[in-house]
Chain A
Amino acid sequence: MTELTKLTIAEARAKLAAKDITAVELTDAYIAAIEAANPALNAYVTVTPEKAREMAKASDKRIEEGKAGALEGIPLGIKDLFGTRDVHTQACSHILDGFKPKYESTVTQNLWDEGAVMLGKLNMDEFAMGSSNETSYYGPVVNPWKAEGSNQQLVPGGSSGGSAAAVAAQLCAGATATDTGGSIRQPAAFTGTVGIKPTYGRCSRWGVVAFASSLDQAGPIARDVRDAAILLKSMASVDTKDTTSVDLPVPDYEAAIGGSVKGMKIGIPDEYRMDGMPAEIEKLWQQGIDWLKAAGAEIVNISLPHTKYALPAYYIVAPAEASSNLARYDGVRYGLRKEGKDIIDMYEKTRASGFGAEVKRRIMIGTYVLSAGYYDAYYLQAQKVRTLIKRDFEDVFAKGVDAILTPATPSSAFGIADQDLAADPVKMYLNDVFTVTVNMAGLPGMSVPAGLDEKGLPLGLQLIGKPFEEETLFKTAHVIEQAAGRFSPSKWW
């Protein structure tokens, strides 16, 4: 049975269509794998085996009747940020204690409409605020990767740490994730998986718990580039329930795979050569450049002068939007309530006890920068800087650059409960230094595994594209994947 969980989505799709395997067999194999692995990895916060078997049975029937959808019978894990009808949806926060929505998010509904099977809900940083999955109310996720000769437990990255770990450990065929500042791409890089944050507006945000509405985007984490293309095709849609959903047809991303990058212009931004960048990251980046050059792409040096301001601007814009979005958790309509001597006391006690430290920190920053007297100095200034960051990208794309290649993260996965990072929140924030510009400009960005560091841990490269040109990213990422190969952790759990 364990062999079945080794199949990629494309492979499973072929075997299901040929009736070599059934959706129920495939689902059972994953449920068994989750039961065996989850006590060690903590990737799932809820497993829904009965629902999964029921959905798989229905898939087998549709396959039998020749009515199979694009993801018929494919078992997926869903990040806990997505609203799933009558199933645990808490953004891994205590404040949503017991919350089971009476609605389904558009993205997950799209997946079920195509025949996908839900295995359960995946662990994440609380309200998607974190880069290590350590802010989850349900405890940290353990990365399936370990450094060679070491037994130290590593983080899978965040905030989509459960999604990345579950995909890497083969506890689902693919997973949904979300990315506000790097939350798909950084965990993908830390686990040797592929993750794409599509252009802002490509996937509907309806029914997804909001963190920072002008930055949040859903996307898949998958085992390879083709699987990511298959998943994004089904996740993306035009949705009247999200006014920022863009009215453009969803292309067949898979068709872009295998295309040539010959003659494409790949930009290499000077500003991403950070001081103190590990030599291994530098080497990996050069390797990526060499691969694309060998495949016929033209490499051009570019400048994105406002890069260093993206992270500080993000840490104004994102907390400001979060403080506003999270105002709804007041102990009245859903989730946790702590009684108080009056209604204000009830709000304050509920929120103090329901939110974790990192979420409180960001609510405080957001409230402060939006408060009277500080709005212009912080929020307005940050939104102006954001315009400049976007303009940097527009300028290089106007000069004919098709895509930009950068490292995905400044390091490989670090240890759980790292003392240095715990002592200084800003140090943790620096994990997003290469990914956050993409959210600020609303562009598509993809992380693709490109090699292992000297400790034997995976490292990723990031590709950044023009708005709604995800196909270029899939095509280019596939060239890197072909050259680099694929990476899987050795099973210890």
Chain B
Amino acid sequence: MSVDIATVKRVARLARLAVTEEEAEKMAGELNNILGFVEQLSEVNVDGVEPMTSVTPMAMRKRADVVNDGDKAEDIVANAPATAENFFMVPKVVE
């Protein structure tokens, strides 16, 4: 399997990463190198093997369904690049 520049651009779009033509070209080489390295996994016989979903054999603990935190809108927007009245500001998304 070989990744071409068009694929790199498509994946970069999915990942929301702007890439230049030169970067895409460089990335294609690097990705092919890494994918070549992981290719050896296909030789492992995994018939009847369950994929790992949890590394420790435990049931996920759940918290009680109660409100235990909140009323801190100012804290939540404190680090945002643009805010107004405790809202996050983004470029216009609807006309």
Contact = CB atoms under 8 A, between A and B. Distances in A.
A342 B18 CA distance: 13
A201 B27 contact: no
A243 interface: yes
**Which of A330, A337, A364 lies at the interface centre, i.e. has the most chain B CB atoms within 10 A of its CB?**
A364
A367 B3 CA distance: 13
A485 interface: no
B38 A424 contact: no
A240 B16 contact: no
Contacts of B15: 323, 351, 363-364, 367
Contact of B58 (A201, A330, A348, A384): A201
A117 B51 CA distance: 43
Contact of A425 (B30, B54, B88): B30
A316 B38 contact: yes
B11 interface: yes
A334 B34 CA distance: 31
Interface residues of A, number: 74
B17 A364 contact: yes
Interface stretch (A22-30, A93-101, A128-136, A153-161): A93-101
A335 interface: yes
B59 to A, nearest CB: 10
B34 A390 contact: no
A69 interface: no
Q: Looking at chain B's contact residues, is the secondary structure mostly helix, strand, loop, or mixed? A: loop
Contacts of A62: none
B50 A387 contact: yes
Nearest to B45: A388
B61 A200 contact: no
A382 B62 contact: no
A368 B3 CA distance: 10
Contact of B51 (A309, A344, A387): A387
Interface stretch (A169-177, A273-281, A373-381, A470-478): A373-381
A102 interface: yes
A330 B12 CA distance: 14
B84 interface: no
B67 to A, nearest CB: 14
Interface in A290-321: 306, 308-309, 312-313, 315-316
Nearest to A243: B60
A309 B56 contact: no
Given A243-B61, A333-B88, A442-B56, A384 B80 contact: no
Say whether chain A's binding surface is mostly helix, strand, loop, or mixed: helix
A418 interface: no
Contact of B79 (A247, A335, A345, A378): A335
A349 to B, nearest CB: 5
Interface in B15-49: 15-19, 27, 30-31, 33-35, 37-42, 44, 46, 49
Looking at B12, B31, B88, the one whose CB has the most chain A CB atoms below 10 A away is: B12
Contacts of B40: 308-309, 312
Contact of A381 (B35, B41, B79, B93): B41
A381 B46 contact: yes
Nearest to B28: A364
Contacts of A342: 91-93
A100 B52 CA distance: 35
B46 to A, nearest CB: 4
Given A246-B58, A387-B52, A442-B56, A333 B80 contact: yes
Given A334-B79, A342-B91, 9 more contacts: A102-B79, A200-B56, A340-B91, A343-B93, A348-B17, A361-B30, A364-B15, A367-B11, A378-B41
Interface of B: 3, 7-8, 11-19, 27, 30-31, 33-35, 37-42, 44, 46, 49-56, 58, 60-63, 72, 75-82, 88, 90-93
Pick the 4 closest A-B CB pairs, nearest first: A442-B55, A383-B51, A337-B81, A352-B18
Interface of A: 98-103, 199-201, 214, 240, 243-247, 306, 308-309, 312-313, 315-316, 323, 327, 330-337, 339-340, 342-349, 351-352, 355, 360-361, 363-365, 367-368, 371, 377-378, 380-388, 390, 424-426, 429, 440-442, 467
30 contacts: A100-B78, A102-B75, A214-B54, A240-B63, A243-B62, A244-B56, A245-B61, A309-B41, A312-B41, A331-B81, A333-B77, A336-B81, A337-B81, A339-B91, A344-B16, A346-B90, A348-B17, A352-B18, A355-B17, A364-B11, A364-B15, A367-B14, A377-B42, A378-B41, A384-B50, A387-B49, A388-B44, A424-B33, A425-B30, A426-B37
